[in-house]
């Protein structure tokens, strides 16, 4: 057996004048999970696309199982033994087919498979694949009707049916709850034991602590750190990824002033403990937790989308009980939701109309819309947040993901409010756009309380005066963003007692 399943030496890739990969060296070993960490814009996605055949390399060498490897396209990479399960789960399955046909789809397309499908044989083979992966699901169920975790498992099982040398998993837990993620980790353990070389892309510390045999960090198109001595040095890995300590902030932490919003004995579910929390004028509070921790539900309760089981809310000392989103907005509570493509962007509108949509009355004279004033305001907000575009009349679809997100944040910063709720404001943006958005959120914070709901520690530390940790629908910890004990913070987020430097696997 060759020394490495995959060996990459001096890999180069540029797009025009933009050099994205600047000489990448890495190896993946059989029966080992290598975690690749990197901030948005570090080059992780480009590296994966070169390895799995979506892009050709501009320089360097790749060897797979000891042989030169230069895939012509994605199908060629798969045929030679490199399979990728992408972050968008439905890229790896056909939602309208049932489970059995998804699991056997590639074999059905093989030359010599015949024109007619033998249903019984197909289902027996599909059952064998499902059993080998430890997947328990109805083979006749339509994949589109399954839970996200089950679709994820099927995408991986379909990939493994090809018996690859290398399996690449790109942010596989981004849409999974903690329980669902544990099912995925058990499957990864099984694949590792079977000798598969796994590249696992993530910077979620809970994932990394659970499954990493070694960690590689990328920054600015280069490998910035490699960690394989046990115990793995997670804090050093984060520093290598960011280029500075995770705990460094470049702003003065805002001390508590006048309380704007107060939550008193607020119970999100029957099982959860009551929440008591206040956010103050000019303060940015990050509410951080894993998927299923209750942070998104808390945002929805404050915004009037859901109701709490019990408890009270007050704004500026007065009782606040929103009966709808419209009522919340009238009371000065604004919210930018996560997943802009589904919940925020109007594809048929231009930038100006997307940005001003909730506040059209502010740009109206009676029944008539003052388009000139609307566009001028949108132009001002574009400049403030650094939206890269030709004009505020450009179609929203012409913008990059980061610039679309800036428009969605600008939408809710356009008018003054007392409480601003931002659910995953950095979702799907590169590190440059993230910094632009974060700086403007902080610069405009006076006059309101800002609550930012997020999953990633480094993002929370980068923007917040105070960090509140949620787990199981309750507050599990609270930290002023000064001299934070990182191990304690991570332990609170994961809901465990394991410190950062511990041996949790």
163 shares its domain with 275:
no
276 shares its domain with 384:
no
Residue 88, pLDDT score:
61
413 in Cβ contact with 440 (< 8 Å):
yes
Burial of 464 (0-12, 13-18, 19+ CB in 10 A): buried
Element (H, E) at 421: strand 419-423
And the tokens for 97?
Answer: 């087919």
Residue 504, pLDDT score:
31
Q: How many CA atoms lie within 13 A of 456 on its CB side?
A: 24
DSSP secondary structure letter of residue 256: P
Examine the pLDDT at 434 and tell me if it is beyond 80. Answer: no
326 shares its domain with 348:
no
- Domain final position from 371, 401, 416: 416
21-59 pLDDT tens trace: 999 999 999 999 999 988 767 888 899 999 999 999 999
Among the ranges 234-248, 358-372, 410-424, which has the highest mean pLDDT value? 410-424
- 452/248 Cα distance (integer angstroms): 19
Examine the pLDDT at 503 and tell me if it is beyond 80. Answer: no
323 shares its domain with 313:
yes
Examine the pLDDT at 246 and tell me if it is beyond 70. Answer: no
468-498 pLDDT tens trace: 999 889 999 999 998 888 778 888 887 644 3
Examine the pLDDT at 97 and tell me if it is beyond 80. Answer: yes
- Domain final position from 416, 446, 472: 416
pTM passes above 0.75: no
Residue 498, pLDDT score:
36
DSSP secondary structure letter of residue 98: B
CATH of the domain at 212: 3.40.50.300
And the tokens for 122?
Answer: 């197909």
And the tokens for 275?
Answer: 């929440």
425 shares its domain with 412:
no
358-399 pLDDT tens trace: 888 778 877 788 888 889 999 999 888 888 888 898 888 877
More confident residue, 296 or 159: 296
Nearest to 152 by CA among 67, 78, 89, 59: 89
153 shares its domain with 275:
no
252 shares its domain with 228:
no
- Domain final position from 386, 416, 446: 416
More confident residue, 178 or 211: 211
Domain containing residue 386? 343-416
Tell me the mean pLDDT in the region 91-117: 68
Residues in the chain: 505
Give the residues across from 167 on adjacent strands. Answer: 83, 198
Among the ranges 136-145, 357-366, 450-459, which has the highest mean pLDDT value? 450-459
Q: Report the chain's mean pLDDT, rounded to a whole number.
A: 84
Number of domains in the chain: 3
75 shares its domain with 159:
yes
152 shares its domain with 256:
no
Confidence band for 228, pLDDT divided at 50, 70 and 90: very high
276-332 pLDDT tens trace: 999 999 999 999 987 778 999 999 999 999 999 999 999 999 999 999 999 999 999
Judge whether 20 lies within some domain.
Answer: yes
């Amino acid at each position: 057996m060759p020394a490495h399943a995959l060996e990459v030496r001096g890999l180069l890739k540029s797009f025009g004048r933009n050099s994205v990969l600047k000489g990448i060296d890495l190896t993946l070993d059989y029966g080992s999970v290598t975690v690749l960490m990197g901030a948005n814009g570090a080059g992780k996605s480009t590296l994966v696309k070169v390895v799995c055949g979506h892009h050709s390399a501009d320089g360097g060498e790749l060897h797979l199982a000891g042989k030169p490897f230069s895939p012509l396209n994605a199908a060629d990479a798969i045929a030679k033994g490199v399979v990728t399960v992408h972050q968008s789960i439905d890229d790896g399955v056909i939602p309208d087919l049932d489970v059995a046909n998804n699991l056997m789809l590639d074999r059905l397309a093989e030359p010599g498979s015949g024109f007619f499908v033998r249903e019984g044989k197909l289902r027996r083979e599909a059952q064998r694949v499902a059993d080998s992966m430890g997947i328990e699901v109805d083979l006749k169920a339509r994949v589109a009707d399954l839970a996200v975790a089950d679709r994820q498992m099927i995408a991986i099982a379909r990939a493994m049916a090809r018996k690859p040398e290398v399996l690449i998993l790109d942010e596989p837990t981004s849409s999974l709850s903690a329980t669902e993620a544990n099912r995925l980790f058990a499957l990864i353990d099984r694949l590792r034991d079977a000798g598969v070389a796994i590249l696992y892309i993530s910077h979620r510390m809970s994932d990394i602590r659970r499954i990493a045999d070694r960690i590689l960090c990328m920054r600015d198109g280069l490998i910035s750190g490699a960690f394989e001595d046990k115990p793995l040095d997670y804090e050093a890995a984060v520093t290598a990824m960011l280029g500075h300590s995770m705990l460094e902030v470049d702003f003065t932490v805002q001390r508590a002033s006048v309380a704007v919003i107060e939550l008193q004995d607020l119970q999100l579910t029957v099982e959860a403990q009551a929440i008591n929390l206040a956010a103050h004028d000019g303060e940015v509070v990050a509410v951080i937790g894993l998927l299923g921790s209750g942070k998104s539900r808390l945002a929805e309760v404050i915004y009037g989308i859901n109701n709490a089981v019990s408890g009270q809310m007050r704004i500026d000392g007065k009782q606040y009980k929103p009966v709808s989103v419209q009522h919340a907005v009238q009371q000065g509570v604004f919210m930018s939701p996560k997943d802009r493509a589904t919940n925020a962007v109007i594809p048929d509108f231009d930038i100006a109309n997307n940005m001003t949509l909730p506040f059209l009355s502010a740009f109206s004279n009676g029944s008539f819309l003052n388009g000139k004033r609307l566009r001028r305001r949108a132009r001002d907000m574009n400049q403030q947040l650094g939206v890269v575009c030709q004009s505020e009349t450009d179609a929203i679809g012409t913008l990059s993901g980061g610039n679309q997100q800036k428009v969605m944040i600008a939408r809710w910063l356009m008018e003054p409010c007392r409480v601003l709720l931002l659910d995953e404001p950095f979702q799907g943006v590169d590190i440059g756009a993230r910094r632009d958005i974060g700086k403007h959120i902080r610069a405009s914070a006076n006059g309101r309380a800002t609550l930012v709901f997020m999953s990633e520690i480094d993002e929370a530390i980068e923007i917040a005066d105070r960090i509140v940790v949620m787990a199981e629908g309750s507050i599990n910890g609270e930290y002023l963003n000064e001299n934070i004990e990182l191990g304690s913070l991570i332990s609170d987020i994961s809901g465990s007692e394991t410190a950062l430097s511990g041996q949790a696997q």
